[in-house]
Amino acid sequence: MTTTYWEYIQLDQLLSIQSGLEGPGDVALADELHFIGIHQSIEIIFKLLLRELRAARGLLGANYVPEHAMPEVVKHLGRANEALRVTIAHFRYMELLTPLDFMEFRAKLGTSSGAQSFQMRELEHLMGLGQDQRHELLRRLRARLARPEDADPFTPFVLDPLGAIQSQINAHITRKEAQGLDASVDKWSRQHIQKAMDDIETQGTLRSALEKWLFRTPICDSTPPPPNTPIDDQAFAEDQRVVRHFVEDYIQRGKSVGWNDGHVQAVRQFLGAGQQDSKLDWHTERVRAALLFIETYLDLPLLALPRMVLEKVVELEKLASLFRGAHARMAERVIGNRPGTGGSPGLIYLDLTRDLRVFPELIQIRGILIPRDRRWAFPGMEEFGFKLGQDDGCD
Ligand code: HEM
């Protein structure tokens, strides 16, 4: 048997689904075909992107991450980033739809909206977007509106988009079944979302996997004891001593390059640095110390790939924000400042979403680095590749 291209990628099916709600056959208007085709193309790329992120999360979140897993993590994150970049390029194409073109068929959309793109919501969830960020977004949205209560109808979408979509799906199924209509597409969507949520519930987010991996990063010559080691255990105390010593040395080096008291205080707050009044738990403190260590000694061969992982995650965050910005600029070009079909206040809301952040610490750490020539050699440095300079130790 020979296999053909059209069979392998199921081209017949792929090219038969641009019919909107009317079907069968393509929608009549070229403008509407443009609109549907671009949405579908982005959803396919989202699918690939989510697969890459889940692969990276799986590798990083394992209890043991071997050295040779690092290039794989970098590969998966690199592909995820490229996928996101490709979706951003789609908006340049989409915005060639003029406002009048869109008006020709906008009524057909009814209340459907990209806000219901559950793959995009899964992406936010899988990355690990925190509830604090969502609440802050809502606070800022209400502050921007002349009548804050105008945000109310859209609030469930701001605070819990996947939950809001699930409620809409359930209501839709009930309505359809009451009218004897086929609800298979809604049931498929419900099942898809549930599967995605279960996956994140059991496997965690990219952020939690990254933290787990960072927590175990060797710092100087110390590796943390296995999970569940009691805090009065000697190995635990020794690791904590080395890490805090490293951080304290760092701060002293910072002072030598002119950090003022205010900056030192802010750095101590961010790093915890073993301070009595620190609000950080040990897990967070060690994760941040690991970030500091990797970003500082980035040119040691054994830290080059971990640094690359961080770089890819920073890029992912940047691209997610660019995606939101490119989408907002495209939307304003097509609908101006009208409200969206999904019930949001439109542009004001979309612009605020650009500030959502999943990994702010990865940026914060970059604001407190000391120059290359102020770094010092630490015990066990040879294990990371080569020596940098004089050995005056952090031990
Ligand atoms: C002419 C084209 C488009 C216009 C005018 C437009 C407009 C909007 C508006 C106004 C919103 C806010 C929610 C609402 O009230 O509906 C929104 C949300 C959204 N749209 Fe679009 N959109 C367009 C195309 C796209 C495309 C191609 C995608 C890709 C899948 C997309 C994905 C999204 C997503 C993910 C949201 C939720 C954003 C968030 O809540 O963070 N949109 N869109």
pLDDT digits (tens, 9 = 90+) for 303-351: 999 999 999 999 999 999 999 999 999 999 999 999 989 999 999 999 9
Please state, in angstroms and as integers, the Cα–Cα distance from residue 125 to each residue in 162, 163, 192, 204, 335, following that order. 9, 11, 14, 10, 28
Residue nearest to atom 42 of ligand 1 (CA): 114
The rounded Å distance from CA 132 to ligand 1 centre is 23
Q: What is the pLDDT of residues 354-365, one digit of tens each?
A: 999 999 999 999
132 has pLDDT over 70: yes
Angle at 332 between CA 330 and CA 337, to 5 degrees: 160
CB 138 within 8 A of CB 150: no
pLDDT tens-digit series, residues 226-285:
877 777 788 888 999 999 999 999 999 999 999 999 999 999 999 997 677 778 899 999
Please give the C-alpha separations between residue 167 and each of 45, 190, 275, in angstroms, as whole numbers.
Answer: 26, 10, 46
Question: Quick check: 384 pLDDT over 70?
Answer: yes
CB-ligand 1 contact for 220 (6 Å cutoff): no
20-34, 122-136, 317-331: least confident range: 20-34
Pocket mutation for ligand 1, best pick of 31, 87, 91, 113 (most atoms within 8 Å of C-beta): 113
The pLDDT tens digits for 30-64 are: 999 999 999 999 999 999 999 999 999 999 999 88
Whole-number pLDDT of residue 388: 55
For residue 224, the CA-to-ligand 1 centroid distance in Å is: 45
| Sign, Cα dihedral of 141, 142, 148, 149 | positive
Average pLDDT over the chain reads 94
Helix (H, G, I), strand (E, B), or coil: what is residue 222? strand
Cα-to-centroid distance, 114 and ligand 1 (Å) = 4
State how far the Cα of 116 lies from the Cα of 233, in Å rounded to an integer.
49
* 37 touches ligand 1 (CB under 6 Å): no
pLDDT of residue 386: 62
Q: Which atom of ligand 1 is the closest one to the Cα of 338?
A: 10
Pocket flag, ligand 1, residue 156 (CB < 6 Å): no
Q: Look up residue 141 and give its two tokens.
A: 């949205």
The residue nearest atom 11 of ligand 1, judged by CA position, is: 340
Confidence tier at 67 by pLDDT (50, 70, 90): confident
Does the Cβ of 123 fall within 6 Å of ligand 1?
A: no
Residue 390 pLDDT greater than 70, yes or no? no
Ligand 1, atom 4: closest residue by C-alpha: 331
| Helices 282-296 and 261-271, packing angle to 10 deg | 120
Give the ligand 1 atom nearest the CA of 87.
Answer: 29
Please state the rounded mean pLDDT for residues 68-81: 97
The whole-angstrom separation of Cα 102 and Cα 106 is 6
Residue of 214, 209, 165 lying closest to 191 (CA atoms): 165
Mutate to test the pocket of ligand 1, among 93, 152, 154, 327 (most ligand atoms within 8 A of CB): 327
Compute, in angstroms, the gap from residue 329 CA to the centroid of ligand 1: 11
Atom 10 of ligand 1, nearest CA residue: 340
Q: Which residue, judged by its Cα, is nearest atom 7 of ligand 1? A: 331
Quote the pLDDT of residue 394: 54
Query: How far does residue 354's CA lie from ligand 1's centre (Å)?
Result: 13
Q: Which of 382, 375, 383, 386 is nearest to 246 (CA)?
A: 375
Q: What is the pLDDT of residue 387?
A: 56
301: preceding bond cis by omega (within 30 degrees): no
The predicted-structure confidence for 202-235, as pLDDT tens digits, reads as follows: 999 999 999 999 999 999 989 998 877 777 788 8
Q: Whose CA is nearest to atom 21 of ligand 1?
A: 114
Where residue 235 falls (left for φ over 0; alpha for ψ -120 to 50; beta otherwise) is: alpha
Q: Whose CA is nearest to atom 6 of ligand 1?
A: 331
Chain-centre distance of CA 294, in angstroms? 21
pLDDT band at 187 (very low <50, low <70, confident <90, very high): very high
Q: In the predicted model, is pLDDT for residue 93 greater than 60?
A: yes
Instruction: Name residue 219's beta-bridge partners.
Output: 222
Cβ of 335 closer than 6 Å to ligand 1, yes or no, is: yes
- pLDDT for 51 equals 98
DSSP labels for 65-83? --GGGHHHHHHHHHHHHHH
Nearest CA, atom 26, ligand 1 = 39
How many percent of the chain have pLDDT more than 90? 85
Q: Give domain limits for the chain.
A: 160-203
Write the CB contacts of 384 (distance below 8 Å, at least 6 apart in sequence): 297, 300, 301, 302, 303
**pLDDT at residue 252, rounded to an integer:** 95
